[in-house]
Amino acid sequence: MLTVPVRQLGESERRAVERLLDLDPFAGAQVAERVAARGLAWWRAEGRILGYGTRRNLESICWLGGNLTPVLASEPAVAAYADLLAGEERLCSSIVGRADAVLGLWDRLAAHWGPARDVRPNQPLLATDALPALPADDQVRRVRGGEVDQLFPAAVAMYTEEVGVSPLAEDGGRGYRRRVADLVRAGRAYARFVDGQVVFKAELAVVTRRTAQVQGVWVAPQWRGRGIATAAMAAVVRDALLRVAPTVSLYVNDFNLPARRVYERCGFRPVGTLATVLF
């Protein structure tokens, strides 16, 4: 019998939520960005934030929207979230967060929400607060507003390779294109162009006051193996640290050894392990 119930949090508990997110600024970055932008009111936030713990001592939170993200979830918190969520229809497209919490949730939810399309149990979470020691590629720059049409095919290719499904499948790609355009408009999309074609791209997909989280790193297939990724990533990290946030973070699949070598050369260090369950 659980003695601490899970409850949906509202705006009155925003400070407590923000204090928890500050304790895990890298793994909780996506949730922190949403809270900063929309608060905790469900009709504005496009999702719900569940809390575990008493009103005087909030111990953990769990974001439930397009994805499910537990933050600082102990074993009792994981069990409590799973008990609540098992009775609900799955609407999220993924579960992502610290590996112990995500895999614990999946152990309890698989019978109700399964099967999963893919489970990635070991994704190193990396961060850096130092400018890269190696030279940056001066041809990598922020994408301009008029270049969305050139960037979009590369973004689709990256997403399809990484996630295993095309972002064009659900609505012809309209929602994904809006997301790409929003990142360009915000100055958070980077690329290197050669003869009008994107040969490298990356985005600051999540930005908080604590970190800028890089996602969508991609090198055009015909350019792979030429060694352009390290200097290109150094350019992204340099700009992000000087212009956007005090740290840069990202997570990577454990089996992607070439990418992990690139990030190590750019000064990233391990700060934890994430896991992702994809539906």
Residue 161: both structure tokens together: 């390779």
Q: 14 to each of 7, 27, 39, 276, how far by Cα in Å? A: 14, 18, 7, 26
- HSE toward the beta carbon, residue 66, CA cutoff 13 A: 6
Is 242:57 a contact under the CB 8 Å cutoff? no
Per-residue pLDDT for 2 more than 60? no
Residue 95: both structure tokens together: 């579960």
Q: What average pLDDT does range 134-150 have in this prediction?
A: 97
Q: What average pLDDT does range 168-184 have in this prediction?
A: 93
24-48 pLDDT, tens digit each = 999 999 999 999 999 987 777 688 9
Phi, psi of 145 (to 5 degrees): -55, -35
| Residue 18 identity (one-letter amino acid) | E
Give the long-range contacts of residues 11-16, CB within 8 A, separation 24 or more.
11/39, 11/40, 11/41, 13/40, 13/51, 13/55, 13/58, 14/39, 14/40, 16/51, 16/58
Provide the strand spans (E) within 86-131: 94-98, 118-128
Per-residue pLDDT for 20 more than 50? yes
Per-residue pLDDT for 126 more than 60? yes
| CATH code for residues 140-270 | 3.40.630.30
Q: Give the whole-angstrom CA distance, residue 137 versus residue 114.
A: 44
The DSSP call for residue 134 is S
The residue whose two tokens read 């932008």 is 37
Per-residue pLDDT for 110 more than 50? yes
All residues at 6 or more sequence positions from 228 whose CB lies less than 8 Å from its CB, including other chains: 137, 192, 199, 200, 219
Averaged confidence pLDDT in the chain: 95
* pLDDT recorded at residue 45: 65
Q: Per-residue confidence at 1, pLDDT binned at 50, 70, 90?
A: very low
Q: What average pLDDT does range 203-214 have in this prediction?
A: 98
* pLDDT recorded at residue 143: 98
* pLDDT recorded at residue 56: 86
* Cα torsion angle, 60, 268, 166, 150, sign: positive
- Residue ranges per structural domain of the chain: 7-114, 140-270
